[in-house]
Amino acid sequence: MRKHKLFDFLKKEYEINSDKELAHLLGTYPAVVSRVRSGVHGLSADLILLIHEKTGMDVTEIRKFLG
């Protein structure tokens, strides 16, 4: 699983220090970020689209982080 690399990239890109701040940027709950990062949940299509909408990051680029 490489989802954590996507989250780490977003945190670095937006100068965010915590997953809580990342969740706020994405407009989701910190628990969602935590569950995806820990592998409890996968990165859903809804979350991929949310990342795209909030950051402008291309969906294909997001998917590259997922392997």
Tell me the pLDDT tens digit for each residue of 5-60.
999 999 999 999 999 999 999 999 999 999 998 889 888 999 999 999 999 999 99
CATH of the domain at 55: 1.10.260.40
Residue 2, pLDDT above cutoff 90: no
Residue 1, pLDDT above cutoff 60: no
Please compute Rg for the chain using Cα positions. Answer: 10
> Higher pLDDT residue, 2 or 58?
58
Is the separation of the CB atoms in 52 and 46 below 8 Å? no
Is the separation of the CB atoms in 28 and 47 below 8 Å? yes
The domain tally of the chain equals: 1
Interior CA angle at 29 toward 26 and 34, to 5°? Answer: 95
pLDDT the model gives residue 6: 93
Q: Which segments of the chain does DSSP mark as H helices, in order?
A: 3-13, 19-26, 30-38, 45-55, 59-64
Domain enclosing residue 55, as ranges: 3-64
Residue 3, pLDDT above cutoff 70: no
